[in-house]
Amino acid sequence: MSVVEQSISSEALEGTRLDRVGPRAFALSLGTAIIAFALALLLGWRQNDGMQQFMFGYYMAWIFFFCIAAGSLYFLLLHHAFRAMWSVVVRRLAEAMAANLVLMAVLLIPILGGMHLLFSWTSASFMHTDKLLVRKLSFLNADFFTIRCIIYFVVLGGMAVFLRKRSNAQDETGSLRPLQAMHRMSRWSLIVAFWVINFVGVDFIMAIDPKWFSYVAPIYFFTMVMVSVYAALPLFASWLQTNGILQKQITKEHYHDLGKWLLAWTLFWGYIAFCQYVLIWYANMPEETGFYQRRIMGPWGVLAAVLLAVHLIIPGFGLMSRHAKRHRGVLTFWCGWILMACYLDVFWLIAPQQYINTPLGRTAGVMPTDPYHFISAAANKLLWLPLRPVAIEIDLLCLLGMGGLFLASALFMLRGRALLPVKDPRLAESLAFENY
Query: Which residues ranging from 318 to 347 are in contact with other proteins (CB under 8 A)?
Result: 320-321
Told to check if 282 binds other proteins by CB under 8 A, we report: yes
Taking the mean position of all CA atoms in its chain, how far away is CA 107? 14
- CB nearer to other proteins: pick between 146 and 321: 321
- CB nearer to other proteins: pick between 72 and 266: 266
Contact present, 417 and 168 (Cβ < 8 Å): yes
> Contacting other proteins (CB under 8 A), which of 2, 9, 284, 369?
284
Closest listed residue to residue 419, CA positions, set 235, 168, 159:
168
Q: Which stretch binds other proteins (CB under 8 A): 178-186, 281-289, 389-397, 424-432?
A: 281-289
- CB nearer to other proteins: pick between 148 and 252: 252
Closest listed residue to residue 53, CA positions, set 304, 358, 368:
358
- CB nearer to other proteins: pick between 127 and 263: 263
Contact present, 349 and 359 (Cβ < 8 Å): no
Taking the C-alpha atoms of residue 28 and residue 395, their distance in angstroms, rounded to an integer, is 21
Q: Which stretch binds other proteins (CB under 8 A): 150-158, 234-242, 280-288, 329-337?
A: 280-288
3-class DSSP assignment, residue 244? coil
Contact present, 236 and 29 (Cβ < 8 Å): no
Please calculate the CA angle 218-224-225 and round it to the nearest 5 degrees.
Answer: 90
Beta strand segments in 213-313, E: none
Binding mask 236-275 for other proteins (x = CB under 8 A): --------------------------------------x-
Per-residue buried b or exposed e for 331-367, using 16+ beta carbons within 10 Å of the residue's own CB: bbbbbebbbebbbbbbbbbbbbbbbbbbebeeebeee
Told to check if 277 binds other proteins by CB under 8 A, we report: yes
- CB nearer to other proteins: pick between 282 and 384: 282
Q: What is the CA radius of gyration of the chain?
A: 22
3-class DSSP assignment, residue 226? helix
Told to check if 286 binds other proteins by CB under 8 A, we report: no
- CB nearer to other proteins: pick between 182 and 280: 280
Q: Which stretch binds other proteins (CB under 8 A): 31-39, 60-68, 199-207, 278-286?
A: 278-286
> Contacting other proteins (CB under 8 A), which of 45, 82, 188, 281?
281
Told to check if 194 binds other proteins by CB under 8 A, we report: no
- CB nearer to other proteins: pick between 277 and 337: 277
Least gap, CB of 5 to other proteins (angstroms): 24
Interface positions with other proteins (CB under 8 A) = 274, 277-278, 281-282, 284, 320-321, 434, 436
